[in-house]
A = this chain, B = another copy of it.
Amino acid sequence: MTQVFGHNYIGGQRSAAGTVILHSIDASTGEALPQAFYQATAQEVEAAAKAAAAAYPAYRALSAQRRAQFLEAVADELDALDDEFIALVCRETALPPARIQGERKRTSGQMRLFAEVLRRGDFYGARIDRALPERQPLPRPDLRQYHRSAWGPVAVIGASNVSLAFSTAGGDTAAALAAGCPVVFKAHSGHMATAERVADAIIRAAEASGMPAGVFNMIFGAGVGEALVKHPAIQAVGFTGSLKGGRALCDMAAARPQPIPVFAEMSSINPVIVLPQALQARAETVARDLTASVVQGCGQFCTNPGLVIGIRSPQFAAFTEQVARLIGDQPAQTMLNAGTLSSYGKGLQKLLAHPGIEHLAGDPQAGNQARPQLFKAQASLLVDGDEVLQEEVFGPTTVFVEVADQAQLVAALNGLRGQLTATLIGEPADFAQFGELTGLLEQKVGRILINGYPTGVEVCDAMVHGGPFPATSDARGTSVGTLAIERFLRPVCFQNYPDNLLPDALKNANPLRIQRLVDGRPSRDGL
């Protein structure tokens, strides 16, 4: 049995100076697990931020190759975690072992993909404009630009719902470490033991690969995230969680003497638009696949489809009934923790209490499991931007909306706030008829899917897991995929620098053999 100590990690050392004791909960039984976790004191939060700041100059000075080796060492350590670890995660989250094994693979794969990005070198965005000494009326100096970490430590505040891939060694941590920023991770109270085992793995990897102490730090506790975000050493924040929590962090960060960016992934209802010809051709399949996406993982995904829109027709009415039957047949599932279950209950109450919303399927919420539910809302609620439809109800439920016609569909989509995803279910004839939808959705969402379902977020170069507010606090970024590294980079320009003083990425000979923009043309050659 690998021991869990419940200590904070500061500068590579364990620390347990506090007196506030927290306990992790068995998500299925609701019982407290025996291990005590020590909430970080104000001094420990400060020490963690300072340890990260102290590690920063040494860490940022390492070559991309060295950082890649570190990330790969983390990946190897994650993959080496034993069955006892998987059982522990399952206990804290009530998720099945297969899901956790898959998520672990995704998490280590994510680390390896960022290592690949570091070796590939496109993240440098290297640009060279050579001197034009003869230019009139003034010569042009030699100017060279690349992207690098110049932020300092990043605070990462983990999600409740994805205890590995969006948590301790998750996407934000991976992107920040890849960029060259040390991390202070604030563990979620929902899976503290998991967090400790993963932090152990990161620390082992850091030591084995000769990283500076303080490259990764972790603190436990309620409210410690606030102190962290306000600490002057912290230079950026990654967050996955609720709109309320994310917005509070953004406000705090903006009010600092030195404001810092917050990359918060917050709230999305992920509309699915079911077009007429698709219903003619394959209503049953769509109903089955959509229902599966709604209840997958007990609906606890950022990209869970919370809104389904169709155009009034006998086919859409039949389809609605079909989905109602399927949702009604879905079993209750255990949620991640009591807080999530309670939020789900409150979200359902709001829908049930709204005069413009009808309950179509699902047993009344009761007991300690979430019961899948289906609702139907009047289209006017969407067109008029009614709050209740814009709010994410985190759990296995979705709301159907029947619009009168194509014009009302467009009006309803225009009424939506920013989203992580939007999905079109249609046949070629639908896309010909509804050609304006892509351009419209491009203004609203980070990812548009055709004939797929938004749950399942691939980690790759082309993924965008982001979108306009309130989906995220900064639509220019993504928190999944390799582009996520850009959130923690900034451009630096060198003017008239002698070749030997330039970073390798910008040297004449192009020793890293990376792609560069030289005098406006892409090149992998030396100068």
A223 within 8 A of B: no
User: CB distance A128 to B259 under 8 Å?
Assistant: no
- A54 smallest CB distance to B (angstroms): 13
Complex Cα gap A250–B255 (Å): 10
Q: Which candidate, A27-35, A166-174, A370-378, A486-494, is the interface stretch facing chain B? A: A486-494
Q: Which candidate, A144-152, A332-340, A342-350, is the interface stretch facing chain B? A: A144-152
User: CB distance A448 to B493 under 8 Å?
Assistant: yes
A495 within 8 A of B: yes
Complex Cα gap A491–B470 (Å): 16
Tell me which residues across on chain B come within 8 A of A239, comparing CB atoms. Answer: none
Tell me which residues across on chain B come within 8 A of A496, comparing CB atoms. Answer: 449-452
A222 within 8 A of B: no
User: CB distance B254 to A462 under 8 Å?
Assistant: no
Q: Which candidate, A3-11, A134-142, A190-198, A393-401, is the interface stretch facing chain B? A: A134-142
Tell me which residues across on chain B come within 8 A of A127, comparing CB atoms. Answer: 461-462, 483
Complex Cα gap A498–B451 (Å): 10
A442 within 8 A of B: yes
User: CB distance A493 to B464 under 8 Å?
Assistant: yes
Bits for A483-527, please: 1 = Cβ < 8 Å to B, else 0.
Answer: 100110111111111100100000000000001010010100000
- Given A143-B460, A496-B451, does the pair A466, B491 have CB atoms closer than 8 Å? yes
Bits for A401-431, please: 1 = Cβ < 8 Å to B, else 0.
Answer: 0000000000000000100000000001001
Tell me which residues across on chain B come within 8 A of A152, comparing CB atoms. Answer: 443
A469 within 8 A of B: yes
User: CB distance B522 to A447 under 8 Å?
Assistant: no
A88 within 8 A of B: no
Complex Cα gap A180–B515 (Å): 27
- A455 smallest CB distance to B (angstroms): 12
Copies of this protein in the complex: 2
User: CB distance A450 to B498 under 8 Å?
Assistant: yes
User: CB distance B493 to A442 under 8 Å?
Assistant: no
- A141 smallest CB distance to B (angstroms): 6
Q: Which candidate, A36-44, A206-214, A473-481, is the interface stretch facing chain B? A: A473-481
A57 within 8 A of B: yes
* Tally of A interface residues using CB under 8 Å: 78
A446 within 8 A of B: yes
- Given A259-B250, A450-B495, A450-B501, does the pair A464, B520 have CB atoms closer than 8 Å? no
User: CB distance A145 to B464 under 8 Å?
Assistant: yes
User: CB distance A462 to B144 under 8 Å?
Assistant: yes
A439 within 8 A of B: yes
Tell me which residues across on chain B come within 8 A of A362, comparing CB atoms. Answer: none
Tell me which residues across on chain B come within 8 A of A148, comparing CB atoms. Answer: 442
- Given A150-B443, A520-B116, does the pair A490, B461 have CB atoms closer than 8 Å? no
A129 within 8 A of B: yes
Which of B57, B143, B458 meets A141, CB within 8 Å? B458
- Given A490-B476, A491-B464, A493-B464, does the pair A129, B458 have CB atoms closer than 8 Å? yes
User: CB distance A462 to B61 under 8 Å?
Assistant: no
A122 within 8 A of B: yes
Bits for A145-166, please: 1 = Cβ < 8 Å to B, else 0.
Answer: 1001011100000000000000
A331 within 8 A of B: no
- Given A251-B254, A254-B251, A452-B141, does the pair A463, B493 have CB atoms closer than 8 Å? yes
With CB as the reference atom, state the residue of chain B lying closest to A461.
B127
User: CB distance B495 to A449 under 8 Å?
Assistant: yes
User: CB distance A258 to B143 under 8 Å?
Assistant: no
A328 within 8 A of B: no
- A271 smallest CB distance to B (angstroms): 14
Tell me which residues across on chain B come within 8 A of A57, comparing CB atoms. Answer: 439-440, 443
Tell me which residues across on chain B come within 8 A of A431, comparing CB atoms. Answer: 498, 501
Which of B122, B251, B486, B520 meets A120, CB within 8 Å? B520
Complex Cα gap A448–B495 (Å): 6
- Given A151-B475, A450-B497, A492-B448, does the pair A483, B259 have CB atoms closer than 8 Å? no
User: CB distance A493 to B151 under 8 Å?
Assistant: no
25 contacts between A and B (CB under 8 A): A57-B440, A60-B443, A129-B462, A129-B463, A138-B456, A140-B458, A141-B452, A143-B460, A143-B462, A145-B463, A145-B464, A152-B443, A250-B259, A254-B255, A258-B470, A261-B474, A447-B493, A449-B495, A450-B496, A461-B517, A475-B490, A476-B476, A476-B490, A476-B491, A478-B491
A: residues with CB less than 8 A from B are 57, 60-61, 102, 116, 120, 122, 127-129, 137-138, 140-141, 143-145, 148, 150-152, 250-251, 254-255, 258-259, 261, 417, 428, 431, 438-440, 442-443, 445-452, 456, 458, 460-464, 466, 468-470, 473-476, 478, 483, 486-487, 489-498, 501, 515, 517, 520, 522
